[in-house]
Amino acid sequence: MKRLILTIFALIVFCGFSYSQEILKHAPEGFDTVRADIPHGKIDSVEYESKTVGATRKAIIYTPPGFSKDEKYPVLYLLHGIGGDEKEWLNGGRPQVILDNLYAEKKIEPMIVVMPNGRAMKDDRATGNIMAPDKVQAFAAFEKDLLNDLIPFIENKYPILKDREHRAIAGLSMGGGQSLNFGLGNLDTFAWVGGFSSAPNTKAPEELAPNPVETKKKLKLLWISCGANDGLITFSRRTHDYLKANDVPHIYYIEPGGHDFKVWKNGLYMFSQFLFKPVDASIFSEYSTNTTIQ
């Protein structure tokens, strides 16, 4: 009897330990270091005709290690910030390194990652006054380009699973605002939504999720993260507060740091591991602990 009690006790301690291990709070050291000993994905540069903009536009594509035209893949649309273009993630975040390493550890599902140019205007370079009203407006105009031009192009060119449950959108700063605006505004298109350090272009919470019951029903995952010292944290916090008050499950993850790629790379590392897998919403609140660091 005593032995049985001891065994049960040991099991409880062990399970509790391994459970707490599963709540990953930060990327481990080396997560963004190139490893020569593992398979690598491939980076392509593509061009598509945008009826929305009336121009040929560029996007960067990452296909996973072992990519095959005979398989079908889910897609993550990964958006840049106000100072960037379609190459910003590639240059600043090297997402292919992070994702290759995660594949090698079997921590993510195979997916195609599309890095578009989110400034939907004829001259979409990040030059001159990047805060000029027409340039900022072009980040909103990208919603139509994405839905009507880019997604159909990608789904025609690559072997893609074309339903909402296999389509994710995430981004940094202006791209985070776009992801929340477009993702929550088009729940029939996206089931996985992530905003890293979302910018002032993020719609007011009541506009983002005017019907919380529907948002809750349709979303697989809503991820909101930000550096604790980021001057833009209010846009993440107010969204979190509203979602919490309206009972919409989401991950609110505040980590030490400012408005930079250290935070965004960690965001990608963490967010990508949830994608296209069964989600256990009961662990979401674990990520919100320690959110008072300032």
Residues in CB range of 290: below 8 A, 6 or more apart: 254
What is the nearest approach in angstroms of ligand FER to the Cβ of residue 64?
A: 27
What is the nearest approach in angstroms of ligand FER to the Cβ of residue 98?
A: 19
What is the nearest approach in angstroms of ligand FER to the Cβ of residue 247?
A: 30
201: its two tokens: 């272009």
**56, burial (CB in 10 Å: exposed 0-12, middle 13-18, buried 19+):** exposed
What is the nearest approach in angstroms of ligand FER to the Cβ of residue 263?
A: 11
In this structure, what are the phi and psi dihedrals at residue 222, rounded to the nearest 5 degrees? -120, 120
Distances (CA, A) of 150 to 65, 84, 116, 145, 211: 23, 18, 8, 6, 27
What is the nearest approach in angstroms of ligand FER to the Cβ of residue 84?
A: 8
Cβ atoms within 10 Å of 8's Cβ, excluding its own: 10
Length of the chain: 294
Nearest one of 210, 274, 223, 277 to 249, comparing CA atoms: 223
Question: HSE (CB half, 13 Å, CA atoms) of 2?
Answer: 0
Of 16 and 200, CB closest to ligand FER: 200
Of 41 and 195, CB closest to ligand FER: 195
Of 86 and 100, CB closest to ligand FER: 86
Of 41 and 81, CB closest to ligand FER: 81
Of 30 and 133, CB closest to ligand FER: 133
The residues of the shown chain that bind ligand FER, judged by CB under 6 A, are 81-83, 136, 173-174, 199-201
Of 52 and 201, CB closest to ligand FER: 201
* Residues 259, 196: Cα–Cα separation, whole Å: 9
What is the nearest approach in angstroms of ligand FER to the Cβ of residue 250?
A: 21
Of 221 and 226, CB closest to ligand FER: 226
What is the nearest approach in angstroms of ligand FER to the Cβ of residue 130?
A: 9
Distances (CA, A) of 124 to 94, 105, 128, 132, 142: 21, 37, 11, 12, 11
* Residues 236, 258: Cα–Cα separation, whole Å: 13
Of 48 and 182, CB closest to ligand FER: 182
What is the nearest approach in angstroms of ligand FER to the Cβ of residue 118?
A: 10
Angle (deg, nearest 10), helices 174-185 and 133-144: 30
